Structure 1
């Protein structure tokens, strides 16, 4: 059986593509592994994002109350879910010492709890006129 040069070249080309694909996949896996502590799994990063997420929620609720804003109920609910998850993070055991270390932290977290509870109670009535304004009123 004789192998022609074209088949040999094609086999070498296919093998090179397979080896290259495996190498690129391993590089991507290494990069993801290296970046994981900096991203979503990093509790300090998630905690630092809490004020901006809260501000985004307030902005979406305000915009929802305006006609023609382009903000829909799903957007407000998504932002509410995000801040609810941030609140769970702030109540986690990983942050318990930090929160308890300063009375201002405890008061701020309690105020955030109150605001989220108030908003949760009104979320079902979001389409009722005046509800977005009531959600944003200070406690």
Structure 2
């Protein structure tokens, strides 16, 4: 008698008197994947890029998606999943744009302050040279500029 173990790696392959009866524990058709809930992306946007509270809204819809998936309401889960994805995309794009704008504004302020500081140092050196090059008989001007 042959063993009931299949060497062709098919699940539950059983031989009965020369006939093969195959039992699969899962359906052979295409199984629809449950919608993604985007919770990690929403948590990231909520923590770091909460532009206009979009990260918080995305987190709310992600949690609603997870709740609908657990309760078996796939239609609602798909709807909330799409909304969470859209809010996450908008929050990420706005967060990156705001980060770039703040970076550019900071760089421009630093450049302007550096130029002003160089101008003040130049004026100070000119005033000091003027003061040191004065003759002993000349009067000191009361206007510093």
TM-score by length of 2: 0.32
Structure number with larger C-alpha Rg: 2
Q: Which has the higher contact order (CA 8 A, sep 6+)?
A: 1
TM-score by length of 1: 0.33
